[in-house]
Every structure is written in C-alpha cells, then in structure tokens.
Amino acid sequence: MQGFLILGFLVILGGLYLWQNNQPAVTVAVPAATPTPGEAPPEAWQIALETQVAAAAMPLATPDLAATAFVPPTLPPVQTAVVMQPAQVPVTPWPTPTPFPTQDFGSSFDPTLYPSPTGVVVEEPSEVTGFSPPPEQVPLSPQINDHFWLIRPVDASANSASLFYYAFGSDGANDDFRVHHGIDIPNPTGEKIYAGGSGTVVYAGDGGKIVDTQDIDIYPSYGNVVVIEHDFGYRGQRIYTLYAHMAAILTEQGRYVEAGDVIGLIGGTGDVSGTHVHMEVRVGENKYFSVYNPLLWVAPFLGHGVVAGRVVGPNGDFADDVLVTLSRNGRVVQTTTTYMQPKKSGQRSGWHVVPDPVWQENFVLGDVPAGEDYEISVSMGGQRFADIIDVQTGTTHFVILGWEIAATPQAVD
C-alpha cells in the first residue's frame, strides 16, 4: 500500500514539473545607471572649440637642462654731481713775479660794485640785471687780427655786465688787490657754467689741493675749478680756459666737451666775497702767467663790438693803471684801466698778464654798442689825450693814446 502512495507522489511531482516548463518565459528589464555630467561625452560644439583653442595655443618651451641660468646685464651706475668743498685757506698763496719799473700816472676810477676773487668784501649789486642780448656765433673773425672763438660761460639771460668791472690786468679800485688774471661774472649760486669751446677737461677738482707742475697752475683761491685744453690753437700754440669758484663740478678730468656743455654751477668756493665765475684764457702753456684778456676771445653780443688799445708814456712804454674813458654824446659809456705790468717783447720775467701777440694792447673795453662818434680819452701827466672812433659790430677797433703818436694834448679840466 505504501509503495503505491510513494509512486503516486512521484507521478504528481513529475506532472508539476512538466506543466511549469510549458509556461511562456518572463522578460525582466533592469534600468541602466544614469551617467553623471562629468562622464557624459562632450557635445560637438565643445569638441570644435577645444580643437581651435589648441591650434592657437603657444607650445610649451622645452627646458634645456644643460643651459646656464640667464643673468640680466648690470647697467653702469649713474654719475651724479658731487659738490666739492674747498679747504680752508688762511692766506692767498699766489706766486709773486719779479717786479720791474713801469710808469704809474696815478689815475683813479669808481670802486667796483661786484665781488672780486680777492677775499676783500665789496658791495654787491642791489638789483637783478635784466636779459642780455644773444652773443655772436663763434668762431668769429671779421678781420684777420680778431679771434672771437669762445662762447660766454653763462646764459644770455644771466648777468654778464661785470665783464668790465675789476678789469683784466687791474689791481683794483684802491690799488690793493692782486692783479686780475681773468674776468669775473657774478650770478646767483646754481647758475650753469658752460664750456667756452670744445676740448678735453685736463683738471676738475678742488683747488685747495695745490697743483703746481710743469703742465698746470692751480691754486687754493680758485676753489672748485675746471680747466679745458681746447682742440684748436692759435699760431701753433695751445689754448686753455679756466673756470673757478664753482658750487658744483659737473664734469670730470679726461672728458671731452663741446662748446656749450654744462661743466659746473656758479658758487662761492675758494677766496671770494660773492658768488661768481672767474674765467681765464691761457695761451701757449697752462700757466698762471700765460693769461690773455678773455674779452678778445669771447664773442661780443649781437650788435656790439670791442675797443682795444695801447696807452703809452713819453718814452713809448706801456702806461700802467691809467683810467680809460669811453663816452658818447657827453655821457660815459664805459671805463676801464690799463694793465699792471704787462709783458713786454722779449721780457723773461716780471710781468702779470700778456698782451695779444698782434694787438699788443694794454686795455680792452668789451660789448660796446656799435655806432659812430665815440670819444675815447685818457689823462696822464697833466695832459689829456683823446680820439674819436667808430665801433663796428662783431669786430675790434684799435686805438693808440699817448705820446707815441701825434696827438694834441689838452688842458685837464
């Protein structure tokens, strides 16, 4: 009985299995994961844009591991002006030449109102000088004996009037100054000083350190001083110009300069009583006793000329320290004095200044307005000598006064 029950149970199980296999298959769909924005493929416009940007980009440099590091060049340091302070000078150590007898007729003239390089306090001008005319162009030689080759060391707008006070070759109003070996141009501190001509700076420094060699004479009274050896000469001789008493030196030794280059600023260093520039012209050698009158070398103003001359005594020698007066229409235009102990022909010692080799003058009046009927006169030994002259622009009028020529003496008023 039990066997039939087990057999029936197996038959039922087999039938259920067959029935189940005859049912249709069930399809199950599993949803795919939604891609994130970062994983999504780029759009077509994005691909096109990235392609264009990549094409325009600069390629990255490939480093050269063997190359040395780049070092930028070092620029030269900028040279700045150095204000040089002069040494304290208790006395004026100028050389004293051997004196020689000359004629002194004892004339006098009005005291200078401008500072001198002697250390003696003098009255300074109380008003500012106005604009000056422009100078003539250099080089200027209207006649064969002229040599106006240098420009003025100051602007036309600066003061030039004192070119004629404490004159070259003078010993001052009271005959107690050293003989002047140059011209003085007083101006405020800081006014520019210009090179008178092209050449090489052979000295630029403090004259407080005495330099007295075979090549150059510089003394403490100059203060801060610059000396230029010009690249042009006169009759085979070298020409030098000296500029003294600077507040600041704006050049250096060995530098080449052109006419008009700024070489310093006006000041009061050295032995002075006011701010000015002292200018010298040295010919032949760079020596204190080889100075010539700068008024015969510096070009005059436009429309102006120069009057130079020789005042001689009864024996034909230079007459020292004589007042020379230039007047027109009864009014005094300008005055000066004749040189003290100028060098004579063949003289080996005992002079202070050197007359021009052609003119052989012993006085010069600069920047005289061109015109006619000027009277130039001197008084010596109780007699008056005069001449009527015309002054032409840009040139020198030369005159001789005294006993050397036929002149009609007049009684002194």
Q: What is the pLDDT of residue 140?
A: 83
The backbone torsions φ and ψ at residue 98, rounded to the nearest 5 degrees and listed phi first, read -70, 120
> Residue 363 corresponds to which tokens in the numbers above?
């006085």
Give residue 183's pLDDT: 92
Of 114-123, 187-196, 203-212, 285-294, the one with minimum mean pLDDT is 114-123
CA distance 309 to 359: 8
pLDDT range class, residue 69, cuts 50, 70, 90: low
Higher pLDDT, 140 or 402: 402
pTM to 2 decimals? 0.67
Q: What is the pLDDT of residue 91?
A: 36
Residue 166 binned pLDDT confidence (cut-offs 50, 70, 90): confident
Percent share of the chain, pLDDT over 70: 68
Tell me the C-alpha distance between 289 and 145, whole Å. 22
Rounded Cα gap, residues 240 and 324, in angstroms: 29
Q: What is the mean pLDDT of the chain?
A: 77
Task: Enter the tokens of residue 403.
Answer: 């006993």
Show the CA angle centred on residue 308, arms to residues 305 and 314, nearest 5°.
Answer: 155
- For residue range 206-255, list pLDDT tens digits in order: 987 766 556 788 888 899 999 999 998 888 899 999 999 999 999 999 99
138: confidence class by pLDDT, cuts 50, 70, 90: confident
Of residues 176, 183, 161, 182, the one with CA closest to residue 108 = 176
For the segment 282-316, what is each residue's pLDDT rounded down to a tens digit?
A: 999 999 999 999 999 999 998 999 999 999 998 88
Parse the chain into domains and list their residue ranges. Answer: 103-120+133-296, 304-411
pLDDT of residue 102: 43
Look at residue 30 in the predicted model and tell me its pLDDT. 54
Domain 304-411: homologous superfamily in CATH: Immunoglobulins (2.60.40.10)
* pLDDT of 36: 55
Are the beta carbons of 241 and 279 closer than 8 angstroms? yes
DSSP string of 167-223?
-TT---TTS-SPPP-SEEEE--TT-EEE-SSSEEEEEEEETTS-EESSS-EE-GGG-
Instruction: Report the CATH number of the 103-120+133-296 domain.
Output: 2.70.70.10
